[in-house]
Structure 1
């Protein structure tokens, strides 16, 4: 019978005296909470999205990626991100992990990747192993209130990160994108002012370019028209407030740049696929 002797290694990928903590596990399927999340960010955790079945479209900052089964999106703290189904009525299953107190060696706190690495990983030879971890984590998720289950899930998350760390370094992208491109300069302006009463001519005037050139450049860089992007940011902020506060829909509309609650609800329904109140109930009833 084969026997395998493991080394007594103290190797770790975590910075000395730090241990990451799994704070949340989520799962999206066509029969559960809606997959759509508009652009939003988390400042207190890094996040992992692992597509187990089907496919989805993931937006990171202002770039869209299509993910299929076996793909992982690595999301550093503070990174704007959003997800949506790749096709209507398509079966999918996506696991999300939010990780606090993460500090990988050689990276800033709450970072999974550096600026030179692709945020999208194709798991390839590691897919079976990572899927096994994911299945157990999802089995443990309903038991999150149990200290024993929480500790087990945390150890599994550490194992998941070890494999992911190896995969990231094997997949390292040697090409560095120009972070100072004109498209990203436009994005930075929109990110700073999206809650204001923005109009395209005023944006163009502030950035000293004509409206056509601004729209064309931003669309080419991000896949969004400028005002579409503003709407996505506002909807993302509204989703965060619906899930994390008890503010009324009208109050949220006002805080997210809409002066008319009915119009906000109409836009929200068109983008998300359901009204704000129903969206809040769908997530809070999980």
Structure 2
């Protein structure tokens, strides 16, 4: 759920003094990477998702995030991380603090009433490049790396401020319009070979962000809506036509007849044949 943020709070990110880099690192090449629940009482952390996707539990709330998304862990916030094996995570991350704010209620990176996940947007590529440079400077440690790393961190924080402002300009009305457009697209193309990634590409949006406005509007994910839309049409065809079961499956978008039967049975509670038999025996057409 999107929450409005006071612009005075946002401006205060720029004014935070003495950000001090503590470390920079990366996670890659491990499909089963996970990090149990933990927190950092004396530092903040930024995680930039370069590739892949995963599940993150932040302050008791579960989030799915993918390529281009940014995770912000304010100090003292419990968080847990897990890569999806079929989409292994590749991330750059850094830890830092604001020494002069250590005992202040203003010691945060994103406001405490704000979601800690910034979804991919037009600034994500820029931030990804900065995080990569920060990691390289920290690992190579060539001449003036302290100075360069410090300036990179300040730029990263300034760009995060810009990203937060950009998110606030995306109103609930716009999100609702997107959800309506996606639903209309699914209704017109549900028999085609569709995937969440393909739908997201059609609307030029991150697939892991697409689901949020849609689910908020219709209380169902786009893929689950697609399944119910297909099976709803399948039930109509089973009852009102003499098409073979495999033909019905193919007609509504399932090339594999076994998969269609298994999915139909799981969702509807009867096999396609059982459904057809139980409904056709009580269906009587008028004779001409």
- Report the TM-score, using the length of structure 1 for normalisation: 0.50
- Larger helix proportion, structure 1 or 2? 2
